[in-house]
Amino acid sequence: MGAEAAHPQQQPPSSVRPCREAAAPAVLGLQLSALIDHVARVDWSLLDRVPGDRGGSQQVSIVELNHILNEVNTHILPSHNDLTPITTIAGGSVANTIRGLSAGFGISTGIIGACGDDNQGLLFVNNMSFSGVDLTRLRAKKGHTAQCVCLVDASGNRTMRPCLSSAVKIQANEFRKEDFKGSKWLIVRYAQQNMEQIIEAIRIAKQEGLSVSLDLASFEMVRDSRSKLINLLETGNIDLCFANEDEAREVIGGGLESDPEEALAFLGKYCKWAVVTLASKGCMAKHGKQVVQVPAIGESNAVDTTGAGDLFASGFLYGLVKGLPLEECCMVGACSGGSVTRALGGEVRPENWQWMYKQMHARGMLLPELKN
């Protein structure tokens, strides 16, 4: 398929579960199933034939996923700036966020989930461990690893088609207090089909004194299961909530004319921090009575917006971990979100981390302390 595998020079580790480090990661990500992204730049004619709304995320069967992958080669856009047309890499919103925190910000991270014993599972393990993510909470299971096709148009907008139905998954009864003990944050992505695991993980996390960050996943997910989402918010266990503009509209049940400020205020009733990202218009955030708006950084050079919201979350959480003011948390998020849009896929390349550090330095922001 001509795909560029992430860090192919690495050999797969002998075990997904090495000895537990003494110090718990500061930030944990809950990704029930390890996931591999196949990211491709394609023309509109393929997107016209893919079921579901453009720009969103809708689950497909393995047969449909393989059909889309077979079609991709005939609809690939010409590459430029040394970009490979297809990139295969460890993916998933939570994985993108914690990989960014570890690789770009020097924040210790770990992932809680399950990984299949297939080639995709090995690729996921290699990529995440290369980025410094602690995998001692990732359960190795016999079976398939989840996959997702990310179709990127000429404007850098992406359409996601994940295949999760046959993938191995961690179950609610597999969580242990030791998985959470000593960490500061748990990152969760909303998914109505995984509410049993999400609720149980949040329950244990709160018992262990962690703060919880929730990403709203997709406008389709919010639209189709808004009542379950509201119930989750009403528990008071969500400390931080991220929504993009489309998800924000669905949260308040509004149309295209809905005001993101209304959605921000709504989320702010339930969460200590609420953030609505506005693509090229930047973001809005609320903490208590304070509301800030920050412009986007680097959006005009976007090659692919895959992972932009996930990496924004990396920067924002870095700011919270370091105790930065709300506006500066947003500014760091804007820098990290902008950095990932400069190349294909949801992982920031080394040269784009350097671009981000320059943006942060120019704005007088706290630079990460990275280990050599």
105 — phi, psi (to 5°)? -120, -5
Whether 93 has a pLDDT exceeding 50, the answer reads yes
Q: Is residue 361 within a helix (H) or strand (E), and if so which, with residue range? A: helix 350-362
Range with lowest mean pLDDT among 285-294, 307-316, 345-354: 345-354
Strand extents, DSSP E, the chain = 4-5, 27-33, 35-41, 86-91, 109-115, 138-140, 146-152, 158-163, 185-189, 211-215, 240-244, 273-277, 283-287, 290-294
108: tokens are 């210790």
Distance CA 150, CA 40 (A): 6
* Residue 49 banded pLDDT, cuts 50, 70, 90: confident
Residues 230-269: tens digit of each pLDDT: 999 999 999 999 999 999 999 998 766 678 999 999 999 9
Whether 81 has a pLDDT exceeding 50, the answer reads yes
With tokens 């390890």, the residue in question is: 34
More confident residue, 55 or 339: 339
Residues 156-210: tens digit of each pLDDT: 778 889 998 889 999 999 999 999 999 999 999 999 999 999 999 999 999 999 9
To the nearest whole percent, how much of the chain has pLDDT over 90? 65
Contact 226, 217 (CB under 8 A): no
pLDDT of residue 197: 98
pTM equals 0.87
Distance CA 211, CA 175 (A): 17
Range with lowest mean pLDDT among 294-303, 323-332, 346-355: 294-303
Whether 4 has a pLDDT exceeding 60, the answer reads no
- Domain segments of the chain: what residues? 27-362
Whether 299 has a pLDDT exceeding 90, the answer reads no
Contact 151, 47 (CB under 8 A): yes
Distance CA 110, CA 132 (A): 9
Separation of CA 88 from chain center: 16
Q: For 179-190, give the DSSP string.
A: HHTT-SEEEEE-
Could you give the C-alpha distances from 309 to 208, 333, 338, in angstroms and in order?
Answer: 27, 9, 9
Map 37-57 to HEC letters: EEEEEECHHHHHHCCCCCCCE
To the nearest whole percent, how much of the chain has pLDDT over 70? 88
pLDDT of residue 18: 47
pLDDT of residue 14: 39
> CA triplet 58, 63, 69: central angle to 5 degrees?
75
Spell out the alpha helix ranges (H) of 269-349.
Answer: 308-321, 326-340
216: tokens are 């709203």
CATH of domain 27-362: 3.40.1190.20
Contact 24, 209 (CB under 8 A): no
* Residue 3 banded pLDDT, cuts 50, 70, 90: very low
Highest mean pLDDT among 23-32, 51-60, 342-351: 23-32
Distance CA 330, CA 337 (A): 10
More confident residue, 347 or 353: 353
Closest alpha carbon to 303 in 87, 81, 90, 75: 81
* Residue 324 banded pLDDT, cuts 50, 70, 90: very high
Contact 225, 192 (CB under 8 A): yes
Distance CA 351, CA 75 (A): 28
3-state DSSP assignment of residue 108: coil
pLDDT of residue 79: 59
pLDDT of residue 300: 62
Whether 277 has a pLDDT exceeding 60, the answer reads yes
Range with lowest mean pLDDT among 39-48, 63-72, 346-355: 39-48
